[in-house]
Structure 1
């Protein structure tokens, strides 16, 4: 017995692209290797320094949360097993899938150009698929990609990248961004309720642990 059969199954983090109207998954992008570190930043939406003193503790909306992850991509194993796509294209398909989240499609661009040529007065930008960042069952949040950069570190003989690091900056979409009726708003509210439940499970100490008996 090697013990491998009893090893815990590690979930994969990644992004799910949904049709914003139907909620049907358009594409699932899983990280090949889960990033070792995830950086989160929450900007408080208070009333500001100039607010009236009666509003000093008021919150005017959900905090603006940003997430930053660095994903590693490596085709060493796929190349050793003779994977046809890896041999022909390297990491181009995986990188293209990530890039597609921040690019309008060629069809959209062509359609907009055709409409402009026939004198259409207003061209409404196409709505991109809704990106949902999934990091275990406890973090499923709608996001907008704000940053995407790639460092390609190794290449095959045809100059296809075979090892790379992709850095993703994400901004969590809230009801302030899309409203309660949008699918992203619903996902955010479900996430917020889940965080509130988690907060209720946190162990809290008494004032005695801080060396005080009271605050007033």
Structure 2
């Protein structure tokens, strides 16, 4: 991975379209590790030739394997609780106007759900013909030093609980629903490809560690 993992807290790293690995934005945040909820699900696999779905469908011929998870893509999704508190803000962020509380922090996370602004958009005066919307930035979820996932934010629930005298929030909790990107996105995005390759390698490494250390216990397992 080309990403430098110098974070004690979790973080989103966002790359502008075509900006990997140089043009990136970093949004660190405090999390409650107990709040991470993951779902790993297999999509419906392709049906064998000659097999149709629905009423009256032809059953598979004898000896022909039905569609199952082995032929399916695996979808991986997360729900992450993000805590933002003005009191926890990095002292290095001295240029942020205090009157806005954590409104800039919230806006930075929200902005990941919108198409990235290109240089042409920034210099536009609004009189040009309508252009196709830019793609959203590529987002990596950094969850510790050895787990980096390319994700799409599918939903964001924001609970603002404390406000300053300007009615800007100074404390909030965000519930971010994330979907891990897959092979389709990796074909055209080097950041996604790199993160997926690293994630798969680490998953297999951990699984091998488990298998290697439990093989010796086979004598204690009932024969199959």
Give yes or no for TM over 0.5. Answer: yes
Contact 1:144 1:170 in 2 (8 A): yes
1:141 positional shift: 1.2
Contact 1:180 1:186 in 2 (8 A): no
Matches of 1:85 and 1:77, distance apart in 2:
14
Matches of 2:164 and 2:84, distance apart in 1:
14
Gaps of 5+ in 1: 1-8, 117-122
Measured against aligned partners, the alpha-carbon deviations of 1:93-140 in whole angstroms (never above 9, x if no partner) come to: 1011011101236737x7887323xxxxxx432022100011012211
1:115 is paired with a residue whose SS is coil
Aligned to 1:15: 12
Contact 2:116 2:137 in 1 (8 A): no
Matches of 2:38 and 2:113, distance apart in 1:
21
Cα distance change on mapping 1:127 and 1:10 into 2, 3 Å: closer
2:133 is paired with a residue whose SS is coil
1:201 positional shift: 0.7
Aligned to 1:141: 149
Cα distance change on mapping 1:84 and 1:185 into 2, 3 Å: closer
1:68 positional shift: 0.7
> Aligned runs of 1:21-170 on 2, under 5 Å?
21-23=18-20, 24-31=22-29, 33-36=30-33, 37-45=35-43, 47=45, 52=60, 53-55=64-66, 59-76=70-87, 85=96, 87-104=98-115, 107=121, 114-116=128-130, 123-170=131-178
| TM-score, normalised via structure 1 length | 0.75
Cα distance change on mapping 1:104 and 1:113 into 2, 3 Å: farther
**1:199 matches 2:207:** yes
Matches of 1:45 and 1:115, distance apart in 2:
40
1:10 positional shift: 7.9
Q: What is the alpha-carbon root mean square deviation over aligned residues?
A: 3.0
Cα distance change on mapping 1:185 and 1:150 into 2, 3 Å: same
Gaps of 5+ in 2: 1-5, 48-52, 54-58
1:208 positional shift: 4.2
Matches of 2:187 and 2:87, distance apart in 1:
45
